[in-house]
Amino acid sequence: MSHATTNHKMSAELEAHHHAFNDDKTQFGFWAYLMTDLVLFATLFATYAVLHNNTWGGPTAGELFSMPYVLVETMALLTSSFTVGMAMLAIFRFKQTQALIWFVITFLLGAVFLGMELYEFNHLVHEGLAWHASAFMSSFFTLVGTHGLHITVGLLWMGIMMFRIVKQGITHNNVRRLTLLSLFWHFLDIVWIFIFTFVYLMGAAAV
Amino acid sequence: MFSTLTTLFANAAAEVRFELLPPPYVIGIVGALAGLLVFAALLKFKGWSWITKTATYIWKEWLTSLDPKKIGVMYIIVAGLMGLRGVADALLLRTQQALTNTDIGNVMTSDQFQQVFTAHGTIMIFFMAMGLMFGIMNLVLPMQLGARDVAFPFMNSASFWLFTAGMILINLSLVFGEFAATGWLAYPPLSGIAYSPGVGVDYWIWTLQIAGIGSLLSGVNFFATIIKMRAPGMRLMKMPIFAWSSLCTTVLIMFAFPILTVTLALLSFDRLFGMHFFTSDFGGNPMMYVNLIWAWGHPEVYILVLPAFGIFSEIVPVFSRKRLFGYTSMVAALIAIMFLSFIVWLHHFFTMGAGANVNSFFGIMTMAIAIPTGVKVFNWLFTMYRGRIRFTAPMWWFLGFVLTFTLGGATGVMLAVPAIDFQVHNSLFLVAHFHNVIIGGVVFGFMAGLTYWFPKFAGFKLNETLGKIAASCWIVGFMVAFIPLYILGLMGATRRLDHYDPSLGWQWLFGVAGVGVLIIAAGIAMQLIQLVVSFIQRQKNIDLTGDPWDGRTLEWSTTSPPPHYNYAVTPTADHIDPFWYAKHDKKKAEAPKYVDILMPKNTGAGVFIGGFALVFGMAIVWKIWPLVFVGLFGAIVTIIIRATHDDPEYVITAKELQQMEAAHAKGGAA
Amino acid sequence: MSHNNNQHHATHGSYGSYVVGFILSIVLTLVAYVAIVNDWFTGMGALLFVTTLAVLQLFVQLLFFLHMGQERGPRWNFMTFVFAGIVVFIVVIGSIWIMYNLDYNMTHKMTPEQLDQSIIEDEGLGEQGTSDHHHEEQTEHHNH
């Protein structure tokens, strides 16, 4: 029979061995998935690089973006990458309340980032510069929007994990899942470095 | 008498006027009626309780299973069915071109012809070839590595069900609406909303998107399996070459499929949200689509062929009774091919106007990639040299491969020269080349693999004679079908046309090609008959030892079929061809020491994810937005529920293992 | 099985590593920002400068936040990242190179005369073009 017929328990030693192996394999698999996400973003960057000058008579990147605004966004996300690191250190030291506080801060910073980004998008749409205005706008909205979608998924994941820590405490499964979440969150900040650089800074750079 | 018959037949056909195939929804209605008929017959002759018992069995033991052996079988069944549909498409295409300038005339309209060749390509690549590949990997890879399962068993199931959702979606396009009429890669602007306003291209996009995500996740899964789950002692340079080829394939999958995901998404954004990535106006650049789709598309063809190479690396040593020649150079060749396949993609659009520097670079890289491939072919031949060869059916497929694939490779090197390519790009020469390498390489490789590993999973061998007849039909049929196409291409015949002017005098070549396809169809019929006959003869061909071919790798050390846990005790594998070594080792095997093991529990979550993906796909094709959200939301919730599941495994104790192994030894089935 | 029991605890880092990483990232971000906003560089210079800073920040975050390269045992995470990086480079730079090349021959931006002139200049056909033209004129003149 190829499914469970009885409810045996394993010895503690075998269980620990299995957990360590499982964690390592899962973390590696998730890292491999993040590498595929990297190529996904690379394709979006390539598309932006090729199409960003095709404004169809509309304003260019430099004319559209407020640099101080973007700097605040960037700092929010960067700080959240730091605070999620703090949260994970607390998790590994089994300090539940401290971890939760750091996660709440991370969540809020991420939400601020996302809110500012949505506000910027909304502003552009109201200026008549939505994603269908030109190839430049399409590639801008898609590249930045895909990153924002990933952030949204990360926030959702973070919310669920915070709930589970409150409910179950710092269990083995929760530690493994939080490790993956922190990898994801750091990865998203790394991608943002390049969006900030190539979309916003280079957009604003003088020719 | 004969001429009277042909005249009668031609007149009758002219009367019936099959210029128009019946509308696809007719197929749907007929299919539904046939299904109802089958169901009614079962109800009458077997009864309601038999139906519920069988359905429960299929759900519990197969659909919700996380056993890669079962998932592998399901992949192969789906891929086989879709292969039959792809072959039916091919028959339609060949028939149209063969009959168009005769008295019988057109078999279908031009629009139908375009949908048929689009469907043919899409189905063969994404569902037949990819499906067989994942099927064989699922069946063979964990066992070859000495493992019980893949790294992420649930994700494996989810991948299969996403693949199946895509399969169902593309078949629904046959009944509801239309399919894309753009060719299997759907270049814009033709595939944009302005020139393809119907649902056809949307079906194409979302079928590929859904199945593509399944493929990407499988790539990650098998990559982690090979890196992390090898048996103790099995260092990378001691792995079977099939495992090495799978490793390189998974790397290609992981880094190429995201490009496809993005490109399909961008096209769908153009169509759904009025964006301008690939439109002719508002700054869009259709050439960027061609660039990106082939940046995926070239690695894709190596994703298809590397596992086939790996299969040959398993088969040739076994049937030559000799270790594989040049293990290290085989590994080096695989790695070289893996790397080079990322820097050749422009050869698919030399004529798009990139200029001499760019074309030269990619032309040279393309020629370079033929070198490691040649190394592999020589190594297989050197393995055979001075071996004690058994010409079984798998070897017949291999020899067919050597004959056909080298021809296809040679024409590939010709095409790699931009100057030559400018003459034959998008001609029937190109069509002949890629069918040459795909059929000769990929298809023959998978046929050989299926024949070779069939006894392990079914418990009995396939009928040898029918297998050899089938292989012969395929080899001869392929030559008869495609050599004319090479000639036509060199004479200037453009691809994807449903008729050519009769004054060119080419019609007889299309007739020959049509005969070739019929020979291939006979080969397929032989294979179907082989399945039935082998099942009937299964007691005669039963495999009682688990090692019907005198194999070399670990999977042959299990029973046929293997127990669901593969190995009661994880084997150690300190040598290349570890099973061969163990069989000939003078040391007496120790008594096995059983320990408790963990196995994944069955779950329906994969089925639900596939189901919600199908709802999402159908809804977004037809722009039924509430259903789109239902599909999306349902899939996400299912994933979250599964991901937060804390107890996905169950224990098999050492004692239970001992009992099951003893029962197997007594000759009982798993 | 070929796995490392201790891998799970190998790569956590310390408070120090996160703080250093955070401060360095802030500095790199601000320097790039100030450089662009104040026009310290323009054109290709600006691109090289900010790209360098971005890549530096990438390494900072890989090292101090993701503890890359610090795993004990075979460095699979690192190798996977390197190969992914190579593919990223190929896709981005390759696409830019190819599309730029394709664009070169697109005539929608120029009039036919402008196109002729730009090709003559780019390909260095100046001498040849002129002498041919001369030759034609002479022949015509001769025929009259």
The better pLDDT of the pair B544, B22 is held by B544
In a domain, A190, yes or no: yes
Residue B160 has pLDDT above 90, yes or no: yes
Cis geometry, peptide bond prior to residue B455 (ω within 30 degrees of 0): no
pLDDT for res C128: 54
Distance from CA of B611 to the nearest CA of C (A): 32
Complex-level ipTM: 0.95
Give the position of tokens 């169901």.
Answer: B39
Tokens of C30: 């601000």
pLDDT digits (tens, 9 = 90+) for B398-454: 999 999 999 999 999 999 999 999 999 999 999 999 999 999 999 999 999 999 999
Q: Please, which chains are in contact with A (at least 3 CB pairs closer than 8 A)?
A: B, C
What is the extent of the structural domain holding A156? 62-205
Taking alpha carbons only, the member of B359, B592, B366 closest to residue C101 is: B359
The mean-pLDDT minimum among A60-64, A179-183, A193-197, B587-591 falls in B587-591
pLDDT for res B8: 57
Distance from CA of C59 to the nearest CA of A (A): 9
| CA A47/CA A139 separation, integer angstroms | 7
Would you call B352 and C102 a contact, using CB atoms and an 8 Å cutoff?
A: yes
Task: Compute CA distances B97 → B93, B106, B224, B484, whole Å.
Answer: 6, 8, 47, 13
Find the CB nearest C50 among A36, A74, A201.
A201
pLDDT for res B380: 97
Number of domains in chain A: 1
Query: How many CA atoms, within 13 angstroms, populate the side-chain half-sphere of residue B513?
Result: 27
The answer for residues whose C-beta is within 8 angstroms of residue B492's C-beta and 6 or more apart is B427
Contact between B118 and B179 (Cβ < 8 Å): yes
| CATH classification of the domain holding A66 | 1.20.120.80
Find the CB nearest B273 among A37, A131, A171.
A131
Ranges of each domain in chain C: 1-72
pLDDT for res C137: 45
B599 has which bridge partners?
B650
Tokens of B506: 């080419």
Among chain B residues, the shortest Cα distance to C105 is held by: B353
The better pLDDT of the pair A14, B600 is held by B600
Distance from CA of B419 to the nearest CA of A (A): 27
Q: For the residues B586-601, what does the mean pLDDT come to?
A: 85
All residues of chain C having their beta carbon less than 8 Å from the beta carbon of residue B295 are: 91, 94-95
| CA B522/CA B648 separation, integer angstroms | 47
Taking alpha carbons only, the member of B475, B456, B332, B459 closest to residue B395 is: B475
| CA C91/CA A39 separation, integer angstroms | 8
Residue B509 has pLDDT above 90, yes or no: yes
Mutation target vs B (from C75, C102, C107; most B CBs, 10 A cutoff): C102
Would you call C95 and B292 a contact, using CB atoms and an 8 Å cutoff?
A: yes
pLDDT for res B5: 55
Contact between C98 and B353 (Cβ < 8 Å): no
The mean-pLDDT minimum among A166-170, B462-466, B566-570 falls in B566-570
pLDDT digits (tens, 9 = 90+) for A134-192: 999 999 999 999 999 999 999 999 999 999 999 999 999 999 999 999 999 999 999 99
pLDDT digits (tens, 9 = 90+) for B240-259: 999 999 999 999 999 999 99
pLDDT in tens, chain C (144 residues): 434 333 344 456 789 999 999 999 999 999 999 999 999 998 899 999 999 999 999 999 999 999 887 777 778 999 999 999 999 999 999 999 999 999 877 755 667 787 778 778 877 776 554 444 444 444 444 443
Tokens of A104: 């709440």
**Cβ burial B563-602 (10 Å sphere, 16+ → b, else e):** bbbbbbebbebeebbbbbebeeeeeeeeeeebebbbbbbb
Distance from CA of A125 to the nearest CA of C (A): 25
Distance from CA of B58 to the nearest CA of A (A): 13
Contact between B456 and B555 (Cβ < 8 Å): yes
pLDDT for res B476: 97
Say which amino acid occupies B548. P
Which residues of B, range 68-97, sit inside 8 Å of A by Cβ?
A: 70
Sign of torsion, CA A12 A13 A14 A18? positive
pLDDT for res B439: 97
**Cβ burial B115-151 (10 Å sphere, 16+ → b, else e):** bbbbbbbbbbbbbbbbbbbbbbbbbbbbbbbbbbbbb
In a domain, A17, yes or no: no
pLDDT for res C125: 78
Q: Does C13 touch chain A (CB under 8 A)?
A: yes
pTM: 0.92
Would you call B288 and C90 a contact, using CB atoms and an 8 Å cutoff?
A: no
Q: Does B293 touch chain C (CB under 8 A)?
A: no
Instruction: Give the DSSP letter string of B478-513.
Output: HHHHHHHHHHHHHTTPBSS-S---GGGS-HHHHHHH
Say which amino acid occupies C69. G
The better pLDDT of the pair B262, B7 is held by B262
Task: Compute CA distances B371 → A97, B333, B336, whole Å.
Answer: 61, 8, 9
pLDDT digits (tens, 9 = 90+) for A26-84: 999 999 999 999 999 999 999 999 999 999 989 999 999 999 999 999 999 999 999 99
In a domain, A30, yes or no: no
All residues of chain B having their beta carbon less than 8 Å from the beta carbon of residue A165 are: none
| C94 alpha carbon, distance to own chain's centre | 10
Q: Does C82 touch chain B (CB under 8 A)?
A: no
Q: For the residues B36-45, what does the mean pLDDT come to?
A: 91
Mutation target vs B (from C80, C82, C101; most B CBs, 10 A cutoff): C101
Taking alpha carbons only, the member of C88, C69, C70 closest to residue C79 is: C69
The answer for residues whose C-beta is within 8 angstroms of residue B265's C-beta and 6 or more apart is A142, B209
Q: Report helix angle A67-92 to C15-37, nearest 10.
A: 170
Find the CB nearest B224 among A10, A25, A44.
A25
Task: Compute CA distances B620 → A139, B202, B264, B268, B275, whole Å.
Answer: 22, 8, 14, 10, 17
End-to-end C-alpha distance for chain A, whole angstroms: 70
Task: Compute CA distances A99 → A23, A93, A183, C69, whole Å.
Answer: 20, 9, 16, 26
Query: How many CA atoms, within 13 angstroms, populate the side-chain half-sphere of residue B262?
Result: 35
pLDDT for res C117: 84
Find the CB nearest A204 among C37, C54, C76.
C37
| pLDDT, chain B, mean | 93
Tokens of B78: 């789906």
Torsion on CA atoms B253, B258, B259, B263, rounded to nearest 10: 130
DSSP state of B339: H
Would you call C91 and B259 a contact, using CB atoms and an 8 Å cutoff?
A: yes
Cis geometry, peptide bond prior to residue B372 (ω within 30 degrees of 0): no
Q: Pick left, alpha or beta for residue B117 (phi over 0 → left; psi -120 to 50 → alpha; otherwise beta).
A: alpha
Which residues of A, range 40-99, sit inside 8 Å of C by Cβ?
A: 42-43, 45-47, 49-50, 67, 71, 74-75, 78-79, 81-82, 85-86, 88-89, 92
Q: Does B292 touch chain C (CB under 8 A)?
A: yes
On the 0-12 / 13-18 / 19+ scale of CB atoms within 10 A, B2 is exposed
Q: For the residues B192-200, what does the mean pLDDT come to?
A: 95
Map B562-600 to HEC letters.
CCCCCCCCCCCCCCCCHHHHHHHCCCCCCCCCCCCEEEE
pLDDT for res C70: 78
Would you call C5 and A85 a contact, using CB atoms and an 8 Å cutoff?
A: no
| CA B386/CA B474 separation, integer angstroms | 28
Would you call B263 and A136 a contact, using CB atoms and an 8 Å cutoff?
A: no
The answer for residues whose C-beta is within 8 angstroms of residue B96's C-beta and 6 or more apart is B106, B107, B108, B113, B498, B499
**Cβ burial A8-30 (10 Å sphere, 16+ → b, else e):** eebeeebeebebbbbbbbbbbbb
Confidence category of residue B11, pLDDT binned at 50, 70, 90 = low
Task: Compute CA distances B72 → B34, B156, B429, B457, B666, whole Å.
Answer: 28, 10, 35, 10, 28
Distance from CA of C136 to the nearest CA of B (A): 30
Q: Does B273 touch chain A (CB under 8 A)?
A: yes
Query: How many CA atoms, within 13 angstroms, populate the side-chain half-sphere of residue B398?
Result: 28
Among chain B residues, the shortest Cα distance to C74 is held by: B227
Which residues of B, range 222-251, sit inside 8 Å of A by Cβ?
A: 223-224, 227-229
